[in-house]
Amino acid sequence: MDLSERKLKILQAIIYDFIRTAEPVGSRTLSKNYDLGISPATIRNEMSDLEDMGFLTHPHTSSGRVPSEKAYRLYVDTLMDKKELTPVEKDSIAQSLYKNVTELENLVERAAHILSEITNLTAFAMTPRQDQDILKYVNLMPVDERTVILMIVSESGKVSNTSIRLNKPVSMDTLAFISKNMTYNYKGKTISEALTLDIIETVKTDAQALAMYEKSIVPSFVKTLEDMLNVNLYMDGYTNIFSLPEYNDIDKAKMFFEMINRKDDFTQKLINRDNGMIITIGNENNDESLQDCSVITATYHVNGKQVGKIGVIGPTRMKYAEVTSVVEYLTDNLSQAFKLTEGEDEDKDDQY
Protein backbone atom coordinates (compact mmCIF):
# COMPACT_ATOMS: atom_id res chain seq x y z
CA MET A 1 0.00 0.00 0.00
CA ASP A 2 1.16 3.47 -0.81
CA LEU A 3 1.10 6.67 1.16
CA SER A 4 -0.89 8.72 -1.32
CA GLU A 5 -1.04 12.48 -1.15
CA ARG A 6 -4.51 12.19 0.34
CA LYS A 7 -3.46 9.75 3.04
CA LEU A 8 -0.67 12.09 4.05
CA LYS A 9 -3.10 14.98 4.27
CA ILE A 10 -5.43 12.96 6.45
CA LEU A 11 -2.60 11.76 8.65
CA GLN A 12 -1.33 15.27 9.04
CA ALA A 13 -4.77 16.49 10.02
CA ILE A 14 -5.13 13.72 12.58
CA ILE A 15 -1.77 14.48 14.11
CA TYR A 16 -2.51 18.17 14.15
CA ASP A 17 -5.85 17.65 15.80
CA PHE A 18 -4.62 15.15 18.33
CA ILE A 19 -1.72 17.36 19.35
CA ARG A 20 -4.21 20.12 20.04
CA THR A 21 -6.93 18.21 21.81
CA ALA A 22 -5.38 15.00 23.16
CA GLU A 23 -8.63 13.29 22.11
CA PRO A 24 -8.87 10.47 19.57
CA VAL A 25 -9.88 11.94 16.21
CA GLY A 26 -12.97 10.67 14.38
CA SER A 27 -13.78 10.78 10.69
CA ARG A 28 -16.59 13.24 11.13
CA THR A 29 -14.55 15.79 13.10
CA LEU A 30 -11.91 15.51 10.44
CA SER A 31 -14.21 16.16 7.49
CA LYS A 32 -15.95 18.98 9.32
CA ASN A 33 -12.91 20.89 10.55
CA TYR A 34 -10.31 20.24 7.90
CA ASP A 35 -10.82 21.16 4.30
CA LEU A 36 -10.19 17.73 2.85
CA GLY A 37 -13.06 17.70 0.33
CA ILE A 38 -14.06 14.10 1.04
CA SER A 39 -16.79 12.55 3.11
CA PRO A 40 -16.39 10.88 6.48
CA ALA A 41 -16.91 7.48 4.90
CA THR A 42 -14.00 7.94 2.55
CA ILE A 43 -11.89 9.21 5.39
CA ARG A 44 -12.79 6.11 7.35
CA ASN A 45 -11.56 3.91 4.53
CA GLU A 46 -8.32 5.80 4.36
CA MET A 47 -7.90 5.74 8.11
CA SER A 48 -8.39 2.02 8.07
CA ASP A 49 -5.55 1.76 5.56
CA LEU A 50 -3.36 4.07 7.65
CA GLU A 51 -4.00 1.86 10.62
CA ASP A 52 -2.97 -1.21 8.68
CA MET A 53 0.22 0.59 7.75
CA GLY A 54 0.94 1.28 11.40
CA PHE A 55 0.43 5.01 11.48
CA LEU A 56 -2.70 5.01 13.57
CA THR A 57 -4.06 3.11 16.51
CA HIS A 58 -7.41 2.52 17.96
CA PRO A 59 -7.94 2.71 21.73
CA HIS A 60 -11.15 0.67 21.31
CA THR A 61 -13.53 -0.30 18.53
CA SER A 62 -15.77 2.67 18.57
CA SER A 63 -13.29 5.39 19.21
CA GLY A 64 -11.44 7.76 16.92
CA ARG A 65 -7.85 7.29 15.79
CA VAL A 66 -4.68 8.20 17.61
CA PRO A 67 -1.35 8.74 15.85
CA SER A 68 1.28 6.08 16.52
CA GLU A 69 4.93 6.80 17.21
CA LYS A 70 5.61 5.91 13.60
CA ALA A 71 3.23 8.68 12.59
CA TYR A 72 5.01 11.23 14.75
CA ARG A 73 8.29 10.11 13.27
CA LEU A 74 6.97 10.68 9.76
CA TYR A 75 5.48 13.98 10.83
CA VAL A 76 8.70 15.23 12.35
CA ASP A 77 10.81 14.05 9.44
CA THR A 78 8.75 15.14 6.48
CA LEU A 79 5.23 16.36 7.17
CA MET A 80 5.88 19.09 9.69
CA ASP A 81 6.16 22.59 8.27
CA LYS A 82 8.81 24.43 10.22
CA LYS A 83 7.49 27.39 12.06
CA GLU A 84 9.69 30.44 11.86
CA LEU A 85 9.49 32.71 14.89
CA THR A 86 8.20 36.21 14.24
CA PRO A 87 10.61 39.10 14.85
CA VAL A 88 8.45 40.11 17.79
CA GLU A 89 8.74 36.68 19.38
CA LYS A 90 12.47 36.62 18.76
CA ASP A 91 12.82 39.99 20.33
CA SER A 92 10.89 39.09 23.40
CA ILE A 93 12.94 35.94 23.88
CA ALA A 94 16.25 37.75 23.45
CA GLN A 95 15.06 40.44 25.83
CA SER A 96 14.33 38.11 28.69
CA LEU A 97 17.37 35.99 27.93
CA TYR A 98 19.86 38.80 28.29
CA LYS A 99 18.13 40.77 31.02
CA ASN A 100 20.44 41.16 34.00
CA VAL A 101 22.86 38.47 32.98
CA THR A 102 26.03 38.60 34.96
CA GLU A 103 27.48 35.22 34.18
CA LEU A 104 27.23 32.73 31.38
CA GLU A 105 26.04 30.10 33.83
CA ASN A 106 23.15 32.40 34.45
CA LEU A 107 22.34 32.58 30.79
CA VAL A 108 22.03 28.83 30.58
CA GLU A 109 19.68 28.73 33.52
CA ARG A 110 17.62 31.48 32.00
CA ALA A 111 17.42 29.61 28.71
CA ALA A 112 15.82 26.65 30.47
CA HIS A 113 13.38 28.97 32.14
CA ILE A 114 12.32 30.73 28.96
CA LEU A 115 12.01 27.48 27.08
CA SER A 116 9.68 26.02 29.67
CA GLU A 117 7.61 29.19 29.77
CA ILE A 118 7.06 29.28 26.04
CA THR A 119 6.50 25.60 25.44
CA ASN A 120 4.59 24.87 28.64
CA LEU A 121 6.74 21.78 29.01
CA THR A 122 9.59 20.70 31.19
CA ALA A 123 12.73 22.29 29.83
CA PHE A 124 16.38 21.78 30.65
CA ALA A 125 19.68 23.36 29.80
CA MET A 126 23.10 21.87 30.30
CA THR A 127 26.24 23.88 30.73
CA PRO A 128 29.02 22.87 28.35
CA ARG A 129 31.66 20.38 29.36
CA GLN A 130 34.68 22.62 29.13
CA ASP A 131 37.37 20.03 28.72
CA GLN A 132 39.14 22.11 26.11
CA ASP A 133 39.23 25.08 28.40
CA ILE A 134 42.80 26.19 28.92
CA LEU A 135 44.38 26.78 32.30
CA LYS A 136 45.57 30.32 32.56
CA TYR A 137 46.66 30.59 36.12
CA VAL A 138 47.45 28.06 38.82
CA ASN A 139 48.51 29.27 42.20
CA LEU A 140 48.96 28.24 45.80
CA MET A 141 48.47 30.89 48.40
CA PRO A 142 49.11 30.62 52.10
CA VAL A 143 46.28 31.86 54.24
CA ASP A 144 47.62 30.87 57.58
CA GLU A 145 50.32 28.46 58.64
CA ARG A 146 48.18 25.44 58.07
CA THR A 147 45.81 26.59 55.37
CA VAL A 148 46.63 26.94 51.72
CA ILE A 149 44.38 27.95 48.92
CA LEU A 150 44.68 26.38 45.54
CA MET A 151 43.37 28.59 42.82
CA ILE A 152 42.81 27.80 39.18
CA VAL A 153 41.74 30.27 36.54
CA SER A 154 40.85 29.24 33.00
CA GLU A 155 40.83 31.12 29.72
CA SER A 156 37.08 31.11 29.63
CA GLY A 157 37.03 33.04 32.88
CA LYS A 158 36.18 30.28 35.31
CA VAL A 159 37.77 30.66 38.72
CA SER A 160 37.90 27.67 40.99
CA ASN A 161 39.55 27.15 44.29
CA THR A 162 39.74 24.99 47.32
CA SER A 163 41.05 25.62 50.68
CA ILE A 164 43.52 22.92 51.67
CA ARG A 165 44.10 22.18 55.28
CA LEU A 166 47.55 20.81 56.11
CA ASN A 167 48.30 18.79 59.18
CA LYS A 168 51.77 20.23 59.40
CA PRO A 169 52.76 23.82 58.87
CA VAL A 170 54.67 24.33 55.69
CA SER A 171 57.28 26.92 54.85
CA MET A 172 56.56 29.72 52.46
CA ASP A 173 59.52 28.64 50.41
CA THR A 174 58.23 25.14 49.89
CA LEU A 175 54.87 26.48 48.94
CA ALA A 176 56.33 28.94 46.49
CA PHE A 177 58.43 26.16 45.03
CA ILE A 178 55.45 23.93 44.39
CA SER A 179 53.35 26.80 43.16
CA LYS A 180 56.00 27.86 40.69
CA ASN A 181 56.32 24.36 39.35
CA MET A 182 52.62 23.92 38.95
CA THR A 183 52.14 27.22 37.21
CA TYR A 184 55.02 26.52 34.90
CA ASN A 185 53.81 23.08 33.94
CA TYR A 186 50.08 23.51 33.79
CA LYS A 187 49.68 26.93 32.32
CA GLY A 188 48.46 26.70 28.74
CA LYS A 189 47.26 23.13 29.09
CA THR A 190 43.66 22.16 28.65
CA ILE A 191 41.84 20.73 31.63
CA SER A 192 41.83 17.31 29.99
CA GLU A 193 45.56 17.46 29.45
CA ALA A 194 46.16 18.67 32.97
CA LEU A 195 44.33 15.66 34.33
CA THR A 196 46.68 13.26 32.54
CA LEU A 197 49.87 15.20 33.13
CA ASP A 198 52.09 14.01 35.97
CA ILE A 199 54.56 16.60 37.17
CA ILE A 200 55.76 14.83 40.26
CA GLU A 201 59.25 14.60 38.80
CA THR A 202 59.66 18.34 38.97
CA VAL A 203 59.10 18.58 42.72
CA LYS A 204 61.07 15.51 43.64
CA THR A 205 64.17 17.49 44.54
CA ASP A 206 62.60 18.76 47.72
CA ALA A 207 61.50 16.03 50.13
CA GLN A 208 59.10 18.18 52.10
CA ALA A 209 57.59 19.63 48.99
CA LEU A 210 57.19 16.21 47.52
CA ALA A 211 55.39 14.87 50.56
CA MET A 212 53.06 17.78 50.74
CA TYR A 213 52.46 17.86 47.03
CA GLU A 214 51.54 14.24 46.84
CA LYS A 215 49.46 14.02 49.96
CA SER A 216 47.58 17.28 49.94
CA ILE A 217 47.87 19.19 46.74
CA VAL A 218 47.35 16.53 44.11
CA PRO A 219 44.05 15.19 45.41
CA SER A 220 42.63 18.68 45.76
CA PHE A 221 43.97 19.70 42.39
CA VAL A 222 42.44 16.71 40.65
CA LYS A 223 39.16 17.16 42.43
CA THR A 224 39.01 20.81 41.49
CA LEU A 225 39.79 20.11 37.86
CA GLU A 226 37.11 17.47 37.78
CA ASP A 227 34.69 19.91 39.33
CA MET A 228 35.50 22.33 36.55
CA LEU A 229 34.59 19.67 34.04
CA ASN A 230 31.29 18.85 35.62
CA VAL A 231 28.32 19.94 33.65
CA ASN A 232 25.40 21.53 35.37
CA LEU A 233 21.86 20.69 34.47
CA TYR A 234 19.18 23.30 34.98
CA MET A 235 15.58 22.19 34.81
CA ASP A 236 12.51 24.30 34.82
CA GLY A 237 8.78 24.09 34.42
CA TYR A 238 8.22 20.59 35.66
CA THR A 239 4.94 21.59 37.23
CA ASN A 240 3.72 22.13 33.68
CA ILE A 241 3.01 18.43 33.37
CA PHE A 242 0.09 18.84 35.73
CA SER A 243 -1.82 20.65 33.01
CA LEU A 244 -1.36 17.81 30.53
CA PRO A 245 -4.29 15.39 30.40
CA GLU A 246 -1.90 12.47 29.95
CA TYR A 247 -0.65 13.10 33.47
CA ASN A 248 -4.01 13.21 35.17
CA ASP A 249 -3.13 9.78 36.41
CA ILE A 250 -1.27 10.32 39.66
CA ASP A 251 0.97 7.31 39.08
CA LYS A 252 2.16 8.64 35.76
CA ALA A 253 2.92 11.98 37.34
CA LYS A 254 4.85 10.21 40.06
CA MET A 255 6.88 8.20 37.55
CA PHE A 256 7.68 11.36 35.68
CA PHE A 257 8.90 13.18 38.74
CA GLU A 258 10.97 10.27 39.89
CA MET A 259 12.66 10.12 36.52
CA ILE A 260 13.30 13.86 36.52
CA ASN A 261 14.64 13.50 40.02
CA ARG A 262 17.40 11.12 39.07
CA LYS A 263 19.30 14.08 37.76
CA ASP A 264 22.61 12.32 37.28
CA ASP A 265 21.07 9.59 35.16
CA PHE A 266 19.22 12.10 33.14
CA THR A 267 22.29 14.26 32.60
CA GLN A 268 24.23 11.24 31.45
CA LYS A 269 21.50 10.37 29.01
CA LEU A 270 21.63 13.87 27.60
CA ILE A 271 25.37 13.78 27.26
CA ASN A 272 25.12 10.56 25.31
CA ARG A 273 22.76 12.00 22.75
CA ASP A 274 24.05 13.07 19.39
CA ASN A 275 24.69 16.70 18.70
CA GLY A 276 22.44 18.91 16.67
CA MET A 277 18.68 18.98 16.79
CA ILE A 278 17.61 15.56 17.94
CA ILE A 279 14.05 14.41 18.47
CA THR A 280 13.36 11.06 20.09
CA ILE A 281 9.83 9.84 20.25
CA GLY A 282 8.42 7.41 22.80
CA ASN A 283 10.20 4.08 22.66
CA GLU A 284 13.04 5.60 20.67
CA ASN A 285 14.17 6.88 24.04
CA ASN A 286 14.99 3.33 25.13
CA ASP A 287 13.71 4.08 28.55
CA GLU A 288 10.77 2.69 30.44
CA SER A 289 10.01 5.97 32.17
CA LEU A 290 10.13 7.89 28.90
CA GLN A 291 7.64 5.58 27.18
CA ASP A 292 5.07 8.16 26.26
CA CYS A 293 7.42 11.08 26.13
CA SER A 294 9.32 12.81 23.41
CA VAL A 295 12.60 14.49 24.06
CA ILE A 296 13.95 17.28 21.92
CA THR A 297 17.51 18.47 22.35
CA ALA A 298 19.78 20.79 20.45
CA THR A 299 23.35 21.81 21.00
CA TYR A 300 24.99 25.16 21.33
CA HIS A 301 28.67 25.65 20.72
CA VAL A 302 31.42 27.16 22.74
CA ASN A 303 34.09 26.40 20.23
CA GLY A 304 34.90 23.50 17.97
CA LYS A 305 34.36 20.61 20.32
CA GLN A 306 32.72 21.88 23.41
CA VAL A 307 28.98 21.86 23.44
CA GLY A 308 26.12 22.35 25.78
CA LYS A 309 22.61 21.14 25.27
CA ILE A 310 19.18 22.49 25.84
CA GLY A 311 15.85 20.90 25.23
CA VAL A 312 12.45 19.88 26.44
CA ILE A 313 10.70 16.76 27.54
CA GLY A 314 7.00 16.35 27.03
CA PRO A 315 4.32 13.97 25.85
CA THR A 316 4.72 12.43 22.38
CA ARG A 317 1.80 14.66 21.55
CA MET A 318 3.71 17.92 21.56
CA LYS A 319 3.85 20.91 19.27
CA TYR A 320 7.00 19.80 17.53
CA ALA A 321 7.06 22.65 15.04
CA GLU A 322 6.84 25.39 17.64
CA VAL A 323 9.13 23.72 20.12
CA THR A 324 11.91 23.05 17.65
CA SER A 325 11.88 26.62 16.42
CA VAL A 326 12.19 28.00 19.94
CA VAL A 327 14.89 25.52 20.83
CA GLU A 328 16.77 26.45 17.70
CA TYR A 329 16.55 30.13 18.33
CA LEU A 330 17.77 29.70 21.88
CA THR A 331 20.75 27.57 20.91
CA ASP A 332 21.72 30.14 18.31
CA ASN A 333 21.66 32.79 20.96
CA LEU A 334 23.65 30.76 23.43
CA SER A 335 26.29 29.94 20.85
CA GLN A 336 26.51 33.62 20.08
CA ALA A 337 26.81 34.57 23.73
CA PHE A 338 29.49 32.02 24.41
CA LYS A 339 31.44 33.12 21.39
CA LEU A 340 31.52 36.69 22.62
CA THR A 341 33.29 35.88 25.82
CA GLU A 342 35.77 33.61 24.14
CA GLY A 343 37.49 36.55 22.44
CA GLU A 344 37.46 40.00 23.92
CA ASP A 345 34.13 41.21 25.14
CA GLU A 346 32.31 43.70 23.09
CA ASP A 347 30.89 45.56 25.99
CA LYS A 348 27.13 45.28 25.95
CA ASP A 349 26.85 48.10 28.40
CA ASP A 350 29.48 50.11 30.11
CA GLN A 351 30.06 47.77 33.02
CA TYR A 352 33.40 46.32 32.18
For a copy of itself, which stretch binds (CB under 8 A), given 3-11, 83-91, 107-115, 344-352?
344-352
CB of 34 to DNA, least distance (A): 13
CB of 92 to a copy of itself, least distance (A): 23
**Distance between CA atoms of residues 54 and 229, nearest Å:** 45
Residue 188 binds a copy of itself (CB under 8 A): no
Asked whether the beta carbons of 296 and 323 are under 8 A apart, the reply is: yes
CB of 288 to DNA, least distance (A): 25
Task: Pick one of 22, 32, 137, 145: the residue that binds a copy of itself (CB under 8 A).
Answer: 137
DSSP-H helix ranges across the chain: 5-21, 27-33, 40-52, 69-74, 87-98, 104-119, 172-186, 191-196, 200-203, 207-212, 218-229, 250-261, 263-272, 320-342
CB of 90 to a copy of itself, least distance (A): 28
Footprint on this chain of DNA (rule: CB under 7 A): 23-29, 37-42, 44-45, 47-48, 51, 58-65
**207-246: contacts with a copy of itself (CB under 8 A):** 215-216, 219, 238-239, 242
Q: What is the layout of strands, in order, in the sheet containing 147-154?
A: 135-144, 147-154, 159-165
Taking CB within 5 to 8 Å according to partner kind, which of DNA, a copy of itself, none is near residue 29? DNA
Residue 159 binds a copy of itself (CB under 8 A): yes
Burial class (CB in 10 A: 0-12, 13-18, 19+), 321: middle
DSSP state of 65: B
**Distance between CA atoms of residues 54 and 117, nearest Å:** 34
Within 13 Å of residue 181, how many CA atoms lie on the same side as its CB? 21
* Total number of residues shown for the chain: 352
CB of 39 to a copy of itself, least distance (A): 40
Cβ proximity to DNA: between 63 and 78 the closer is 63
Residue 153 binds a copy of itself (CB under 8 A): yes
Residues near a copy of itself (CB under 8 A) are 136-137, 139, 141, 143-144, 147, 149, 151, 153, 157, 159, 161-167, 215-216, 219, 238-239, 242, 247-248, 250-251, 253-254, 257-258, 261, 345, 347, 351-352
